[in-house]
Structure 1
C-alpha cells in the first residue's frame, strides 16, 4: 500500500510503500495527531520512517496494491 505524507516547508512529499493495512496506518496517524511526538511507519523493506508530528501537513493512505506484472517483479 502506498502512503503519501506532505511535510511542511518541503517542496516534495514523502511516498512510502508499506505492508501495513490502511487501518494500522490510520491508527498510527491518529495517535501521532493525538499527542505522540512523531508518526512512525515501517516500509516494505523494514526501514522505519519517523516524521515529527508538528511538521505533518497531510497523510494520504492508498488502497491495497495488487500484484505487479512485468520484469520489475523479479
Structure 2
C-alpha cells in the first residue's frame, strides 16, 4: 500500500510502499496523531525505516493497494 506523509516546513512529502494492511496503518497513524506515540515509525517494503516526530505531521495519505497489471489488457 502506498503511504504519503506530509511534514510541516518540508517542501516535499515522504512516499513509501508498505506491506501492512490499511487497518494496521490507520492504527499506527492514529496513535501518532493522538499523542500516545512520540514518533510515526513505518518500515517500507525494502526494509528501510521512516520515523517522523508526531508533532510535525501535516497529513498522512493511505492509498490503494498496488496491483501490478501485466500485458496488453492493462492499457
TM over 0.5: yes
1:68 CA drift (Å): 4.8
Residue in 2 that maps onto 1:4: 4
Structure 2 unmatched runs, 5+ = none
Whole-Å Cα distance in 1 between the matches of residues 58 and 28 of structure 2? 15
For residues 1-74 of structure 1, the aligned pairs below 5 Å read 1-35=1-35, 36-69=37-70
The structure 1 segments of at least 4 consecutive aligned residues displaced by more than 4 Å after TM superposition are none
Whole-Å Cα distance in 1 between the matches of residues 7 and 69 of structure 2? 29
TM-score, structure 2 normalization = 0.85
Whole-Å Cα distance in 1 between the matches of residues 67 and 47 of structure 2? 20
C-alpha RMSD of matched pairs (Å): 1.3
1:63 CA drift (Å): 1.1
Whole-Å Cα distance in 1 between the matches of residues 70 and 40 of structure 2? 32
Say which SS state the counterpart of residue 59 (structure 1) adopts.
Answer: strand
TM-score, structure 1 normalization = 0.86
Equivalent residues, number: 70
Whole-Å Cα distance in 2 between the matches of residues 42 and 68 of structure 1? 25
Structure 1 unmatched runs, 5+ = none
